[in-house]
Amino acid sequence: MGSTVKPLMVPWDFTQVAEYALEHAVKIAKIDGNPIYLAHIAKKKEEEEKLKGILEVYAIEAFKKYSIKPKVIVKQGNIFTSIGEIADEIDAEMVVMGTHGMKGMQKLTGSWALKVIVSSKVPFVVVQSPPENNNFEDIVLPIDFRKEDKEKLNWIVYLYKHFNSKIHIIKPKKSDKRLVKGLNANIAFARKILDQKHVKYDMIMAEGKKSFAKETIEYAVKINSHMIVTMTTKNIGLADYVMGADEQYIIANSAKIPVMCINPRIGLTTGGFAAMGG
């Protein structure tokens, strides 16, 4: 983020949810004038040119619909590494990606979406439905005890500046003294940054009767939230993909609320907002 307007990238798999993702990207792009890239991952090298031609035709149709003509990229590879590679190559501001939720056999189900997301340092906005007539006015920010949680604050300020969002912080109910200490440190840090940037926010504590992920979703539904901002787990393992990490549950939430997923930066667990150029 900075003075240079960076592109938004939409992974394109010729599905309805990819179209939804493009609609969201257009909404974001119209604020700063970001260019949009449609990126398709081909299974075979010899398919690249043909698929690029198909995407070019679609880009013209998209221009007629949205008055923004996306650029197109087709690359042979696999979705779990190539999407992240392309996002890094074009220095994308963020990736806006459609997902099919937890059910079904489509390519980007909840677990596979998480595997794609952690392949890049670029934040992902994951959507399951078309945008409503709002500008992410109410955003839920779950904050826990992880040091990496501080990295979310930079993007919260970004969203506030772009959409004049109201931030709703939810924190878990914990009794372990070590976890409470880390949580309180993160909350104090969040308050400091948000107050400095004059960001509007409120804060509640989860009841602690269910998992924090479930209570986050329930709270987001209750206040009619337009986005949840979450942090992916560092060094996520195979068991998390199979069993379901908390963020996987949030990404594929049944309420179909868009989710911004931020990947922890290597070696940047304590510097916080100031270390990220804020």
- Nearest Cα neighbor of 24 from 80, 86, 68 is 68
Q: In this predicted model, what pLDDT tens digit does every residue of 173-216 receive, in sequence order?
A: 988 888 899 899 989 999 999 999 999 999 999 999 999 999 99
- Can you give the pTM of this predicted structure? 0.86
pLDDT (tens, 9 = 90+) of the chain, 278 residues, equals 445 889 999 999 999 999 999 999 999 999 889 999 999 999 999 999 999 999 999 999 999 999 999 999 999 999 889 999 999 999 999 999 998 755 433 344 445 777 788 888 899 999 999 998 667 899 999 998 777 667 789 899 999 988 899 999 999 998 888 889 989 998 999 999 999 999 999 999 999 999 999 999 999 999 999 999 998 765 555 444 443 467 778 888 989 999 999 887 654 333 333 222 22
Query: What is the structure's pLDDT at 130?
Result: 94
Q: CB neighbours of 226 closer than 8 A, spacing ≥ 6?
A: 132, 134, 135, 136, 137, 138, 139, 165, 257, 258
Tokens 């104090």 locate to 188
Q: CB neighbours of 215 closer than 8 A, spacing ≥ 6?
A: 170, 172, 206, 207, 208, 209
Residue-range domains of the chain with CATH: 8-127 (3.40.50.620), 138-251+267-275 (3.40.50.620)
Collapsing DSSP states into helix, strand and coil, what is residue 38? strand
